[in-house]
Structure 1
Amino acid sequence: MEFTVAQIAQVVGGTVEGDATATVSSLAKIEEAAPGALAFLANAKYEHFLYTTQATAVIVSPELVLRHPVAAALVRVPDPYSAFTKLLEFYAQATRMGKRGVEQPSFMGESSTIGTNHYRGAFSYVGEGCVLGENVLVFPHAYIGDRVRIGANSVVHAGAKVYADTVIGQRCVIKAGAVVGTDGFGFAPQADGSYKAIPQIGNVVLEDDVSIGANATVDCATMGSTTIRQGTKIDNLVQLAHNVEIGKHTVIAAQTGISGSSKIGDYCVLAGQVGLVGHISLANRTTIGAQSGLVKSVKEEGQILQGYPAFGLRANQRAAVVYRRLPELEQRVAALEKSQAAPDKA
């Protein structure tokens, strides 16, 4: 695909300085861009690349003051990073939307329906009683169980598994290898020390614009629904247990595990390798630092927590300073004890 700089400016709502008729056909980092590429500059520490880049055009801020001549055409927008992200989304969508039709072999149950402009890749499986909207893309080796509902413009990538009765909203993305709706980890201890499986008869509900990362797992509810609300983004290798509820526009980074029946609020941020015990809740706009563990609920909105067990970020940082000094403090205490135990030489 090829676009003029003027067309790019129109898409991102920017103004052009330089040759508006120049054409670009690819997106690239400013330090790696070749002729025909479009790059962006959002971080001041990369500004020196602007004067040497081979890019045909660069998206920049209106406040940027040039210190040297620039060969590339400039597209000035209020937020270069967001503008470039918008172009990446546009490019990715245009690339995906090129997929249409049904590849063989593939299977779809006779009682299932799918909207117009869809795609079903080779070896994909769609069970009975499913309703898939228009522009839905199901890539090769994806599995969709019985009675699943998927909204318009959603994508199920290669090898993903969507279990029976799952409800997926519009514009959702289920990435490669993800498993949505598998049985939750429910086992009842028996008198003889063994465990008996508890049937998991609930489902998973993903609202609109949810993204589930590669090899992430979202367990179905024991009863009711495991729910992920609008706009939430789940990274790769995340585990969400049965009956978990995630609020809207929350982000959860890789290798995080959330135990059963915990509730995460809206606009929360959970960094990598965070762990939550079951049956606790996080207030809206809570941020949890990487490798932290939560063992109790967070009731006050807007808190930033770190550590295990997690507590306030500033207090945790002060505690870390003391922790690093423990060997020194131990020696000082030992020396003090020795001096106090020594006989009075006077």
Structure 2
Amino acid sequence: MNGAAASGYRTEVAELPRDRDVVLALWNGNLGDPARHAGKLDWFYQHHPFGEPLLQLLRHDGEVIGSCGVAPRRMLWRGREIRAGLLADMAVDARHRTLGPALMLQESLLAAATDRFDLVYGFPNRKSLPVVKRLGFAVLGEMPRYSRVLRHAGYLQRSLPRWLALPLGGLLDASFALRDRLQTLGAPRLVATWSEQVDPRMEALWQASSHGQGLLGARDTAMLRWRFDQTPLGHTRYLLLSDSADGPLRAWFACEVVGSVLRVCDYWCVRGTAGIDIALVLALVRIAHRGRHASISLEHAASVEQLAGWQRAGFVCRDSQPVVGKWLGGGPAPAAMAQDWYLTAGDEDE
């Protein structure tokens, strides 16, 4: 760090809105889609309802050339709420992308976070794992992405001629639909409705369900309103499943449409962390098929029991990304945290 400081590098905590323009200038060209930056900065760092986030800046000869943030997330561990922080928005100007500046930036962020968070976690890409490991982060496990194809013809056309892909795809669609109906014979009829915003019944479902003992983000209505209803980064709708039109919810799915894919950003069900019933998953499948979606995707780090309903409904793991964490005051071994955890894309920053 001394060498970095001697060569003109120093770190500081950003002050918003004073530093808003310089942060946006850094992010432009160094962090994702520029059209999303202003909304993300305001929503994630300036209008966060659960505590003030930290946004650390790295300067070189006075110019801001790096940033990295950590924001509060309400999470449970072994049945009690902990002070968790989500790593986000690591950006370093291309002229300074060497190990020293990146380590200096993140070391200073962790130092500033030590008295404010019990656990800091994140979803880095695999190329950055050596850096985060040097900072003391452990790989807690993997966040798999599961998907189920609903309309096979489009996928088959990637390797078959159209004249063959269309009828074969239709045959596959019909066979899977028949399998779905057989798997739900005798199951209670469910009422499915879409909501553009959080439904008050989602609070009752959260309070009445099992939260388990593993790492779990809060899914009460206060968190969901901020995470999904108020985000400027996408349009989320909730599929609500119940036994009657105004009855208690059995499950909800927070969904967004990405091209022809229905992406499940988050969900919760009456059994909580004990696992979702296949009938609830197949109700989602039916609604998605009715909506002309080609497939459904879900990012979900969970136990074998929690995933069973999804896998029985035909969801297959396609890829995954690592999840890292660091207890700032000492904590359980990494393997223990992944035994009964429950993470989705809702536990990420966008």
Normalising by structure 1, report the TM-score. Answer: 0.21
Higher relative contact order, chain-length normalized (CA < 8 Å, sep 6+): 2
Q: Which has the larger radius of gyration?
A: 1
Normalising by structure 2, report the TM-score. Answer: 0.21
